[in-house]
Structure 1
Amino acid sequence: MLKKCGGYLILLVLVSGFSWAWAQGQGARSFLVMGAVSGQGQGAVDARNRAEQAALRQAVERFILESLPETGMQSSLGALAPLLKEDPAAYVRDFRILATVQEGPGYRVVARVSLDLERLTQRMKDLGLGLSRMPGILFMVSEQGLGDAEPKRWWEPNAGISGTGGRCMEGLVAVLEPAGFSMVLPDGRSLLGGERTVAGVLDMREAQRMGALFGAPVVLVGRARVAPGGNVMGERLQSFRAEISLIALNTEKGDVLAEVEDALVVVNEHAAAGERDALYQLGSKAGSRMAQELRSAWLRRAARDAAVSEIRMDIRGDQYLSRFVHFRKVLGEIEGVVSIERREISAQGMDIRVRYQGRTSDLASALLSQSYERFGIRISDVEEGRMQVTLISSP
């Protein structure tokens, strides 16, 4: 749960749950899939084996499809053929059958499949399948262990934690890097500007500033903590509950790309080992979810940006300066207009640049359908990427 208090973002986690180590190994990512086959006159054992094989193949196919840009999917189909014919088990680290249903001579199985991302992505590269380029991430995730009174933050002086973070961040990186995201490492520059201090819990503006400072397209802000789980067995075995809340922030525009809250419980005889395991597994588990959500958000953003064009608009007319304030307001409210920038101003007119999702003719038509206060517009010299708009007196 996220709350704001005093201008700062406070991260509170109220979720708890369980996890299994088999599903969150380093460099792995798990999928919940279903495989189904018909018996076709063959034995039940064979049908079940083929259903399991179908589930493994579906997990591999899901990762491949999520990794490739939609715009190049048609050209990738031919290159995919050799990989899709291979045994999917070659790219599976582990799997767990969760349910089976026999349907006449056939079988249907539900499985949790953990893939070997390093091996699978390398095979895709060998086949010439370019993975969608994902942004670099500056990790600003605090970590609070069993003996810590407060979270440790690498961006604070004498924090006792390096810029590469702790165990939770190791788990995050182990999943996000194979998924195509790179880690932006602090280069030793001071995070302080003049008398400014960096808040222990970052607000969005401060996180955005630090992302710009280190050239990171995305800043991952969050807090991870581990505490006694309250369950014990015998004299030594005890549980540890770890919780995390993450926000992926777009450095350029300051908007939130993805949010993840997660938790798990591990069991260990030793507190130090339980803490380490809980934080690492938590980072891997949350990182798997964040990789999927952040990839989807980034690709949607890239698709929108690819459709945006810059249009030069020459503003003319008597009293155009006094009328321009209202004209700009109307222009900015048109759907598809991303930004408006003034370039040159003279007594004869003004040159502005409009970033717009669509064609120049579409924007011209949208302008004609608007209502203006005490003046009208005349549009001329319309060509792709340019038009002239004259602000004229109403009849």
Structure 2
Amino acid sequence: MRVSVIHPGRALFLAMAIVFLASVPSSAEGPPGAQPGPDNAITVVATRKIQGGNIALAKQEAVEAALSAAVDQAALTLLSSEAIARAFQSYSAAVAGKAEKYIDSYKILGEASSGGTYRVMLQAVVSTGQLKAGLSGFRPTAPPDDSAPTAADTEPATGGAEPAIADVDQAAAGSVQAVDRPRLLLLLSEQNLNDVSPRFWWGENPGTLAAHAEAAIARKAEAAGFVVIEHGTGTPDVPVKAAIIFQPELNNRDAADIGRLLGADVAIVGKAIAYAIGDTGAGGDPAYNATITMKAVLVQNGQEITSGFETAVRQGRNDTEGGREALTAAGIQAAGHLIPSIGAAWENAVRPSESITLTVSGTGNLGNFVRFRQTLRDLDGVMDLQVREMNADAAIIAVRFEGNSQDLKERLLANTFELFAIEVLSLSNKRLDIALVPK
């Protein structure tokens, strides 16, 4: 179970200190006569030391720090500060070093060099849609207390519990357009404390009790817009029936065979087990642990596209309640990993793309670079882009593109820019080097 041991109140101050570092939010409206920005425009001031007399580098670092702070401020409008503080490490992993991905545009309102430091004030327009997508896998943990979680924790929150971003925006990262989302079949065996052996719906004696981990994953998948196939509790009549009927764990081939019969695109295969762990020292009801191992398999060819392992600890008044709560919690955590991964893999399967490394020189003029990056993001065939590296006058961008590097070059050159031109420096397989040349 991934829980924070820092008290939310103290963690909040620590989180904000780390996130913003030397960057200070500003309520300034910019120079006199400046027009009000869009609703998602955030004004930030950031400072960096000038080292070795390199003012250009200090300016670049200050801009990057300000953009990072703008993204953090935008995230605080999507999630409460308490939720971010409780899982600050997970949040940081989702956004640290990735500010460029979430900034649509920015403009420098003021800059100054004084006392060995460089300060910039800028206004950044944050793409809240992109940010929601980037935070789709971030799942804040519940605050520690002495009360046992209830089944209500697995339903959409109406207050108190912080929803995951994936619940806020169903078009999250890893998802694809609704028409393209794959049909899912869940093949999960489950063993609660009162079960003498794993229960699984494709066996001869599957029983009628609900599988708690499977139900939790199904709810989250449906909330994200996926279709989950109702499999019932009957044994599937497939050619491999004799081989699988007594097997709680299926191999990829057998899972794909069942999936094809029932009209699925992706089969989620795995097992979930709950057991008592006794007194945790926290007092209250006994504690129970559940683990779930799972993988997702493309039904078309039996290819494994993602896998994972999750564990969760919950308290309960008895074995039945404690096991149920732990299994449900593990299922929710598993869904947070599976759903984005399946969506991304399926999108790539139905819309094949190439990963192209784009090296851009001439980025010292940040305004030109931002305009170029926005054009690149909106370019037909570009499915995703991430700035991998930036220095004073160059950037390396990973572009997921429906085509090859030659196609990307031609589409870029078809655009004209008022302040700069694109010069192609070199072209090779899965690599394109260009320069932004001021006019």
TM-score, normalised to structure 1's length?
Answer: 0.49
Structure number with greater CO (CA < 8 Å, separation at least 6) is 1
Greater share of residues in strand = 1
